[in-house]
Chains A and B, each alone.
Chain A
Amino acid sequence: KISTIYPDGTTIVTGLKKAGKDIAAKTDGRVKLKVYPGGVMGDDRAVQRKIRIGQLQGQVAQGGAFADAYEDSQILNVPLAFNNYDEVDAVRAELDPVIKQGLEEGGWVTFGLIDGGFAYIMSDKPVKSITDLRDQKLWLPANDAASAQAAKAFELSPIMLNIGAVLTSLQTGAINAFAAPPVAALTLQWYSRVHYVTDMPLLYTFGLLGVQKRYFDRISPADQKVVREVLENTFDTLDAESRKENLSAFQAVQQQGLQIVKPDAEQLKEWKDYARRATNALVSEGQVSQAMLDRLNGILAKYREAH
């Protein structure tokens, strides 16, 4: 029994349901996968409580939701680490297995990452520099320590609201800027209340399915193998499909009338400086280890040299 906030009918939920059928068929019904879509089981924290008592066995969530089990799983979420998807792919080719291993040691069996796309700043007024952003009423999710910390490092004074209040607050002008992957901005209708999108990949996001190991271990080794096979294949497909959706969503928000703005070289440098500071803060707070950060930078340096 797994929970996800992705609504019924989305690629991910449909894919998971199909995987569930395959697994049931291949294990003669010994293993069943029941999906509770759309966040019916509550937010991430409520779901993790329910997993703890065994009402649920796993969840599909943003990578950050599993940071407690393995902190370096957040390495891909470092602000402004990537310039484009090719760099993401180069890093993921090497680090995906490491993250998987780390999470498994932390008690979560996972089956591969799903691309969540880059989060971009979308705003009422054009945002090219950090100063531009400071002049906007920026939304950040309430109860999210990581983004609160990032805001602090960027010297922003954001407005914290629950995700459910964002659309209304955008309508009323209580907030007028946010950072989100275009797919989210589209499905949640947020795009309709802003005019500009800053073409700068602020943050890479990804989702993953974690099944708690103590529940996974209850099924026989042979069945475990089947489950892993089916789900890993499913997630490979989902990852590729999500990437496609994320790329086309970036086009779609532009077609919906959002204008693209791009920071100039100097502004970009300022962004990167602050991002480095934010990253260092992550390291010093123990959110990401220095070793892992070095490894990320190593891969990126090597890739950038070759291309």
Chain B
Amino acid sequence: MSALLRWLHRIEDGLIVAVLLLMVLLAVAQIILRNFFGTSLVWIEPLLQNAVLWIGLLGAMIASRRDEHIRIDVASSLLPERYHPFLTTVVDLFTAGICLLVAWYSVGFLREEYQYAGDAFANVPSWLLQAIIPVGFSVMAVRYVLLFTMGLMGKRPRLQEPHA
């Protein structure tokens, strides 16, 4: 199980770094092409725009590992610490459920997109670009289920503000 998780972590980390690098390089390449060669490559623009989606979901997946998402979180500062496990248990279950809901409908939609819609651009099928959405939400759902079980065992990381 933990070996599988480590694998997943490595893939996520590798992908997000690769997508960011690709984004910087392609965008700069496009600027050079346009301003110095007066032309542009058709597939760069849509690829960059889809890269934003991928970075967003990959980043969100990674942030879910330790539940580092933006939250309002009033209760945990008002209630004493011993009530916190109750809060996290309820909240984790809810978050997992919502992620699962999106993943479910997303998969359903994608199956249709696979049948009906063609290529988004330059032979890249539209469903492939969108596949990150169900994958991302499924992974997040799994992570919040894990957080939920860790919470039941009293091993869950504490609620925290992100990037503070």
Contacts and interface: CB of A to CB of B under 8 A. Distances in A.
Nearest to A173: B35
Contacts of A160: 40, 42, 45
Among B112, B118, B121, find the residue whose CB has the most chain A CB atoms closer than 10 A. B121
Given A143-B121, A159-B40, A53 B45 contact: no
Contacts of A148: 42
Given A157-B38, A159-B39, A143 B46 contact: yes
Given A52-B112, A53-B109, A143-B121, A161 B45 contact: yes
Interface string B42-64: 10011000000000000000000
Interface string A155-169: 001111110000000
B116 A52 contact: yes
B158 interface: no
A157 B40 CA distance: 7
Interface in A144-198: 148, 157-162, 174
A128 interface: no
Interface size class of B (residues with CB under 8 A): 10 to 19
Given A137-B38, A157-B38, A157-B39, A162 B116 contact: no
Interface string B94-129: 000000000000000100110010101100000000
A174 B45 CA distance: 15
A142 interface: yes
Contacts of B121: 143
Contact of B34 (A53, A68, A162, A174): A174
Interface residues of A, number: 15
Contacts of B120: 143
Contacts of A161: 45
Nearest to A142: B45
Interface string A112-127: 0000000000000000
A162 B45 contact: yes
A148 B40 CA distance: 12
B38 A142 contact: no
Contacts of B39: 157-159
Interface string B21-38: 000000000000011001
Interface in A25-68: 49, 52-53, 68
B34 A159 contact: yes
Contacts of A137: 34, 38
B131 to A, nearest CB: 15
B49 to A, nearest CB: 8
Contacts of A49: 109, 113
Contacts of B118: 68
Contacts of B42: 142, 148, 160
9 contacts: A49-B113, A52-B112, A52-B116, A68-B118, A137-B38, A143-B120, A157-B40, A159-B38, A159-B40
Interface of B: 34-35, 38-40, 42, 45-46, 109, 112-113, 116, 118, 120-121
A-B interface, 9 closest residue pairs, ranked by CB to CB distance from nearest: A157-B39, A159-B40, A142-B45, A160-B42, A160-B45, A148-B42, A137-B38, A160-B40, A143-B46
